[in-house]
Structure 1
Amino acid sequence: MPDIVYPPVIAFAKTAFKVLDLKFAMVGTEHVPRTGGAVIALNHISYVDFVIGGFGAQPSKRLVRFMAKEVLFRNRYSGPLMRGMRHIPVDRAAGSASYREALTQLKAGEIVGVFPEATISRSFELKEFKSGTVRMAAAAGVPVIPMILWGTQRMLTKDHPKDFSRHRNVSITVGAPISVTRQDDATEATEHLRTTMAGMLDETIRAYPEQPAGAWWLPASYGGGAPTPEEAERLDQEELARRRKR
């Protein structure tokens, strides 16, 4: 099936990047395979991670089919775009359908983008990972490509107003492919993926050209003003309780 919607969306995004004069630091993008299926596992710190994460696969000329909340597909504006780019809707009440669709795409040689944390991290450090990422890769017989994004939280994230100021630094770090098989223990493989990405995140943060003490977008463990992982978990639980009430 030809991609009619994705290319113009990419062109629009690249134009927006130029207008904003985003300064990208991209490392390891050669690890994204030019052919064949793969699962890209990304950290999740911003509502624009889909856009920036997809950009990280552009040097390999690949399109990423992201697994995203089903509500985005029902929105009158984002819905047609999400469907047109053949992203995969995730309904948490019926996750098996999205899992099957992801496997179909992977076996067809597509790259599927997954956020193992499932939700945005308020601490900007890694939350616990769901095991679906490695299970999916093992079932499809494809590698997992770890990818770290940094700087996207400064644009649009939870609990903070959007800020698309110009001249921002954005980092994309891609790690070497990780092989997973059906014989591997999913829990151990998931922990290995998380440990790998935690190391990549640390390197990416330390290499970032801005490190202002107390900055809200910098993790507490790096001298920033972001919530600690424990505080972030409390905020997540409070948000979940409010949703249940509604």
Structure 2
Amino acid sequence: MAELVYPPVIGVARTFFKALDIRFDIQGAENVPKRGGAVLVSNHIGYLDFIFTGFAARPAKRLVRFMAKESVFRHKVSGPLMRAMKHIPVDREQGEHAYQHALKALRSGEIIGVFPEATISQSFTLKSFKSGAARLAQEAGVPLLPVALWGTQRLWTKGQKRDFGRNHLPITIRVGETVHAEPGEYAASVTRRLRGRVQELLEAAQRAYPGVPRHEQDTWWQPAHLGGTAPTPAEAKALGAS
């Protein structure tokens, strides 16, 4: 079936980011399978992460179907677009339906995008991973594709104002080699290996990220362990519980 909505939406996003003069640094896109199913797994630090993660698959001419909370599909603007792009709504009280939907898509050769932290990390460090991505990959017999994003939080993230000015912000994206579950391996073990790989990619993305002149730097977007003023993981957890 022809993709009538997804490619034009990507074109609009590219035009928008070009107008903002976003500086992209994408490495590892050759690791995206050119055909067949895969579960793409990324860290989650900003509201636009699904767009940037999807960009990583474009050199392979692949479209990513993201699993997203159901409320996004109920919005009068985003809802029709999300459905037309064949993304998958997730009702956390009835998650089995979304799981089966994703499983069917994987078996038909689609790439499914998952943020296994479930919510945005306000500390900008990796939170614990849910095991759903690993279980999907194991049951569908497809690889896991680890991705790390850095800089996306500077555009729009939880607890901060959007910054859609022409600020020449850099966005760094790193795509790793696929991760495969060993025969009989527990999903928890696969998830630990996967999280470790995303952590390695995140650290690589942070090292490659361009320096910001001291007089221009606002350190709210930098994690505490790198000298920034973002909440520590413990503080971010308390914020989420409040």
1:66-145 → structure 2 map (5 Å cutoff) = 66-145=66-145
The residue aligned with 2:180 is 179
In 2: Cα distance, 1:187 partner to 1:143 partner: 16
Aligned residues: 238
Q: Give CA deviations for 1:70-108 in whole Å, capped at 9, x if unaligned.
A: 001111100000000000000000000000000000000
TM-score (norm 1): 0.94
Q: Which runs of 4+ in 1 moved over 3 A?
A: 211-214
The residue aligned with 1:228 is 232
Cα RMSD for the two superposed structures: 1.1
1:1-246 → structure 2 map (5 Å cutoff) = 1-166=1-166, 167-181=168-182, 183-210=184-211, 215-238=219-242
8 Å Cα contact 1:45/1:120 also seen in 2: yes
8 Å Cα contact 1:43/1:147 also seen in 2: yes
In 1: Cα distance, 2:164 partner to 2:154 partner: 8
In 2: Cα distance, 1:32 partner to 1:130 partner: 22
- When structure 1 is superposed on structure 2, of 50-59 and 176-185 the one drifting more is 176-185
- SS for the counterpart of 1:66 is strand
Cα displacement (A) at 1:146: 0.2
Q: Partner letter of residue 149 of structure 1?
A: L
Q: Partner letter of residue 204 of structure 2?
A: E
In 2: Cα distance, 1:231 partner to 1:214 partner: 19
Aligned-residue sequence identity (percent) comes to 53
- SS for the counterpart of 1:92 is coil
Q: Partner letter of residue 51 of structure 2?
A: V
TM-score (norm 2): 0.96
Q: Give CA deviations for 1:158-186 in whole Å, capped at 9, x if unaligned.
A: 11111113211001100000012561111
**Where in structure 1 are there 5+ consecutive unaligned residues?**
239-246
In 1: Cα distance, 2:203 partner to 2:236 partner: 19
8 Å Cα contact 1:27/1:173 also seen in 2: yes
Structure 1 residues 181 and 73: CA distance shift in structure 2, 3 A = farther
Structure 1 residues 182 and 118: CA distance shift in structure 2, 3 A = farther
Q: Partner letter of residue 168 of structure 1?
A: L
In 2: Cα distance, 1:102 partner to 1:184 partner: 21
- When structure 1 is superposed on structure 2, of 180-189 and 130-139 the one drifting more is 180-189
Q: Partner letter of residue 137 of structure 1?
A: A
8 Å Cα contact 1:69/1:90 also seen in 2: yes
In 2: Cα distance, 1:181 partner to 1:206 partner: 31
